[in-house]
Structure 1
Amino acid sequence: MTFHHHMPSRREALLGAGALFAWSQMPRLARAEGRDPRLLVIVLRGALDGLGAVAPVGDPDWKSLRGDRALLLDGKTPALPLDGFFALNPAMPNLHRLYKAQQACIVHATATPYRERSHFDGQDVLESGISRPGAVDSGWLNRALVALASDGQIDLRGSRALGVGAVTPLIVRGRAPVMSWSPQKSLPASDDTRARLLDLYQHTDPRLAAALDAQIRLAALGPTAAIDDPMADDAALPLPGIARLRAYVAEAAATAARFLARADGPRVGAAGFVGWDTHINEGAASGQLANLLGVLDGALAAVETNMGEAWRETVVAVITEFGRTAHINGTDGTDHGTGTVAFLAGGALRGGRMIADWPGLKPAQLYEERDLKPTTDLRAVLKGLLRDHLRVEERTLATAVFPDSADVVPTAGLVG
């Protein structure tokens, strides 16, 4: 591979792009209730292995499904117990602490309405809020703000919005104003081209795609990685690279939180992190997935710390385009799947709860006999947060924010 010198570093790649909104007035209903709610949405681009992140240790078929990669309560690196049936990846001690403090919820076996396996279409459905890809060029979070403005709840005139990154994510594009700010290091233009090439190969030549993906991943970790070895074990990567990555992403999250915490600052924001496409050497308690979850865990802690007093009025929602296969593939990774997890954290939550209608892991219980079957529509969760946290009207949620979702009942009781 000749392009690795032009790769973004892993820390640049993970920072992807984000946007923060500010408005000159808080939602009128929330203000009347004496609240000043904040919402930060983090999009994990590349598809998260929900089973590797939150293990169904109480499912009798779990251990045989993943073998020595199955996270267990009594494993070599023990999983962190949640509710007796589920356990958290040990790379996420901060999320576990928040869960025990009733400041985090985890939604399992969830997905958008999208049922194919293209990253680009999956992310489009996730961020647009429309059930088919390519339908609109606005995002559900932007339309929620427009709805609040048209209801007279907020005043968008003279409001400020901040977009972090070279590309504003679709989730926040639309009529509500967005300004952009790029960090000193941003993704090169060729990154999108390379990702599209990879997506194409995954449909036509999976082996080539796997090798290309590994090269990109290793190159992204900088000169310390063994660029010439596409099968190098991520678990063996030098720690300084992971430490730098963790510090960089935590600082980005901290910066977003400091904006959200300001009296005159934004109240709603979104950030995207790429790098979650774990086709090779995913690992569980160690390896690629553990490294990525550890970085995310550090980002959540940074948001909590830097929100200060405002943390008690904050919800952070971590979502992804789809899950990954139930079985480990031939390169010790997982391929594109369906059902996954969503993480919710924040002082405004009624936390300490798993939200799951568990489908089971027997072959006949899997989606197309290969993926975790989604039993919770992610839009229900997002609608519940927007309705009860920001006070977007339920009718508006079903028509303007998530069109064609009238039959998707908002999840009740997530906040307060």
Structure 2
Amino acid sequence: MSGSNTGVRLGRRGFLTLTAGAGSLLVAPQMVLATVPTERRFVFIIQRGAADGLNIVVPYADPAYARLRGALAIDAASARKLDGQFALHPSLAQVGAMYGQGQALFVHAVASPYRDRSHFDGQNVLETGGIQPYAVRDGWLNRLVGLMPRAGKQAIALAATVPPALRGPVPVESYLPSGLPDPSADLIERVGKLYGGDAQLHPLWAAALDARAAAEKTATKQDPAGLGRLAATFLAKPGGGRVAMLETGGWDTHSGQEGRLAGQLKGLDALLAALRDGLGDAWASTTVLVATEFGRTAAANGTGGTDHGTGSLAMLLGGAVRGGRVIADWPGLAPAQLFEGRDLRPTLELDALIAGAAAESLMLDPELVARNLFASGAVRPSTGLVG
């Protein structure tokens, strides 16, 4: 077990707005925002595709790591050593700086209750808080927003569709800058007149124009740094969103992993840095959770990649995070220590991490959050994660 987890307890074990682009159909779901009456912010970033936690936070002190990974093993000399056991992938330079400032912590050998290896099923369990795929219809993030005091419009999704984590009874609208050419001023004016007398469509159109104007101020593009800036724009607005979800894809590295993972991590690093810089002083009251549906095999495969696994890595970042630590009940990578003889064995519960981080971030009762967010009813929320 890493020696830097003092004071932390971790247990073992919509609404779619097509007009939001002001005349353009939206593509590529990316971000969701929810408005709640607080000045604290909670952001969930999902890594779709099963991110390789073993090469993101590297267990360089485990003698089996280099043997299993071969040419894919990250040289600890080129990485940032976090403590005497783990090192950070060199592509995460800004995240490493946050760690040095006590604004990032990493939770290793962590997993949701899901133990098979289907992306769709694993993501569904992660996002709904269920035990089995598709057993729960709404998302834990929607239920989290529902625990907050009501304050007018509850949620806005900056996405073409609302991701499963924020689907549920709390209404969510959607917005994302379109990759299509900008609509002309004449078209916007004509549509505004067309919707002007419609009690249902006019408020949606007005909200879309407000969101478009805010996004234009950031010169937002559909790239990781642009998405981070856009998220910060909405999260920093007085009375704006305080709970957000961002989607990143491309983490399924069956082949050519070395270059692909480095590129993915550089993008994530740029997104997080842009979010931090864009939030300014609000970063001090922000918690960002980064998690994936499951990990990847401990051993490299024959095509320079890794296959679907089980245990992986989660990150917490932000000015409100009690960082500068790696939390791990490390199971080891020797053959007898692997899950089903192939995967990093999960020893910590992702549900417990989510419940504790969300509750502490938004100053809610952790036990209440755990009961409402997760179907098992047995989640013991983590503590000591967020100040």
The corresponding residue for 1:172 is 166
**1:350–1:398 Cα change, 3 Å:** closer
Q: Distance in 1 between matches of 2:221 and 2:328?
A: 30
* More displaced 10-residue stretch of structure 1: 167-176 or 177-186: 177-186
Q: Does 1:114 align with 2:114?
A: yes
The corresponding residue for 1:261 is 236
Q: Distance in 2 between matches of 1:339 and 1:327?
A: 13
Q: 1:66 aligns with which of 65, 69, 72?
A: 69
In the superposition, the TM-score normalised over structure 2's length comes to 0.80
Q: Distance in 2 between matches of 1:89 and 1:160?
A: 38
Where do residues 9-408 of structure 1 align in structure 2 (5 Å cutoff)?
Answer: 16-23=29-36, 25-26=37-38, 36-74=39-77, 78-148=78-148, 154-156=149-151, 158-185=152-179, 248-283=223-258, 287-406=259-378, 408=379
**1:39–1:362 Cα change, 3 Å:** same
The corresponding residue for 1:8 is none
**1:15–1:352 Cα change, 3 Å:** farther
The corresponding residue for 1:409 is 380
The one-letter code matched in structure 2 to 1:110 is V
- The runs of 5 or more residues in structure 2 that have no matched partner are 1-26, 181-219
Give how far 1:253 is off.
1.3
Overall identity of the aligned pairs, in %: 46
Give how far 1:366 is off.
0.5
Conserved in 2, the CA contact under 8 Å of 1:103 and 1:346? yes
SS of the equivalent of 2:76 reads coil
Q: Deviations over 1:68-106 (max 9, x none)?
A: 2211223xxx01110111001000000100001000000
The one-letter code matched in structure 2 to 1:38 is R
The corresponding residue for 1:3 is none
Conserved in 2, the CA contact under 8 Å of 1:160 and 1:179? no
Q: Distance in 2 between matches of 1:347 and 1:405?
A: 30
Conserved in 2, the CA contact under 8 Å of 1:15 and 1:273? no
The one-letter code matched in structure 1 to 2:56 is A
The one-letter code matched in structure 2 to 1:94 is Q
Q: Distance in 1 between matches of 2:291 and 2:79?
A: 21
Give how far 1:392 is off.
2.8
The corresponding residue for 2:207 is none
Q: Distance in 2 between matches of 1:185 and 1:126?
A: 29
Q: Distance in 2 between matches of 1:258 and 1:399?
A: 32
Q: Distance in 2 between matches of 1:131 and 1:181?
A: 31
Give how far 1:67 is off.
1.7
Conserved in 1, the CA contact under 8 Å of 2:70 and 2:300? no
The corresponding residue for 2:7 is none
Conserved in 2, the CA contact under 8 Å of 1:398 and 1:404? no
**1:392–1:402 Cα change, 3 Å:** farther
Give how far 1:246 is off.
9.9
Conserved in 2, the CA contact under 8 Å of 1:43 and 1:320? yes
Conserved in 2, the CA contact under 8 Å of 1:260 and 1:266? yes
RMSD: 1.9
The one-letter code matched in structure 2 to 1:121 is D
Q: Distance in 2 between matches of 1:90 and 1:247?
A: 24
Q: Distance in 2 between matches of 1:387 and 1:248?
A: 30
SS of the equivalent of 1:302 reads helix
Give how far 1:398 is off.
3.4
Give how far 1:183 is off.
2.3
Q: Distance in 2 between matches of 1:138 and 1:329?
A: 36
SS of the equivalent of 1:354 reads strand
The corresponding residue for 1:7 is none
The one-letter code matched in structure 1 to 2:235 is L
Q: Deviations over 1:195-219 (max 9, x none)?
A: xxxxxxxxxxxxxxxxxxxxxxxxx
Conserved in 1, the CA contact under 8 Å of 2:69 and 2:299? yes
Q: Distance in 2 between matches of 1:399 and 1:335?
A: 33
Give how far 1:391 is off.
2.6
SS of the equivalent of 2:226 reads helix
Runs (4 or more) in structure 1 with deviation over 4 Å come to none
**1:264–1:397 Cα change, 3 Å:** closer
Conserved in 2, the CA contact under 8 Å of 1:160 and 1:178? yes
Q: Deviations over 1:189-243 (max 9, x none)?
A: xxxxxxxxxxxxxxxxxxxxxxxxxxxxxxxxxxxxxxxxxxxxxxxxxxxxxxx
Q: Distance in 2 between matches of 1:279 and 1:115?
A: 19
Give how far 1:136 is off.
2.1
Q: Distance in 2 between matches of 1:102 and 1:414?
A: 11
In the superposition, the TM-score normalised over structure 1's length comes to 0.75
Q: Deviations over 1:303-339 (max 9, x none)?
A: 1000100000001111110000111111111111000
